[in-house]
């Protein structure tokens, strides 16, 4: 179980790096994905459920990372916010996603992309 959790954490880091690269190279596409958040029941509950997989992996693997307490807190935070999103009506989740996508113009998406990339690198780094 620990080995699976470790590889899920590493995959999560690469996923975050990929998102950051998408934000940098194709910010309009990244915004389009953001606009789909909560758009249908299938999309809404699938994204929340899938989000919980790396969150649980972070909690399980936290004791083997460079910063166990911080990783465990982050994992539990992701789990807690996912559970809250399960309770938030889908239309509110979708409306919030649309509002964020409207606010985050392509230039802003590009400007914050390095933070996503650095965060992904940090997730991978702490897992070794």
Residue 94 confidence (pLDDT) = 96
Instruction: State the DSSP code for 64.
Output: G
Q: Closest by alpha carbon to 5, among 64, 50, 47?
A: 64
Per-residue model confidence as pLDDT tens digits over 50-84: 999 999 999 999 999 999 999 999 999 999 999 99
Domain range for 121 is 2-126
Residue 118 confidence (pLDDT) = 98
Residue 53 confidence (pLDDT) = 98
pTM of the predicted model, to two decimals?
0.91
Contact criterion met (CB below 8 Å) for 47 and 78: no
Look-up of token digits 């996912």 = 82
Per the structure, how many domains does the chain have? Answer: 1
Residue 128 confidence (pLDDT) = 86
Residues (pLDDT < 70) of the chain are: none
Residue 100 confidence (pLDDT) = 95
Residue 116 confidence (pLDDT) = 98
Query: How far, CA to CA in Å, does 112 sit from each of 17, 27, 34?
Result: 12, 10, 14
């Amino acid at each position: 179980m620990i080995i699976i959790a470790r590889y899920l954490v590493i995959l999560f880091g690469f996923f975050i790096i990929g998102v950051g690269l998408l934000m940098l190279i194709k910010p309009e596409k990244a915004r389009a994905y953001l606009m789909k958040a909560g758009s249908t029941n299938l999309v809404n509950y699938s994204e929340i459920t899938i989000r919980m997989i790396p969150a649980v992996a972070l909690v399980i693997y936290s004791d083997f990372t460079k910063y166990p307490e911080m990783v465990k807190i982050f994992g539990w935070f992701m789990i807690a916010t996912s559970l809250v999103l399960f309770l938030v009506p889908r239309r509110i989740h979708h409306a919030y996603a649309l509002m964020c996508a409207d606010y985050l113009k392509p230039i802003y998406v590009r400007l914050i992309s390095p933070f996503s990339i650095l965060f992904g690198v940090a997730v991978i780094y702490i897992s070794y």
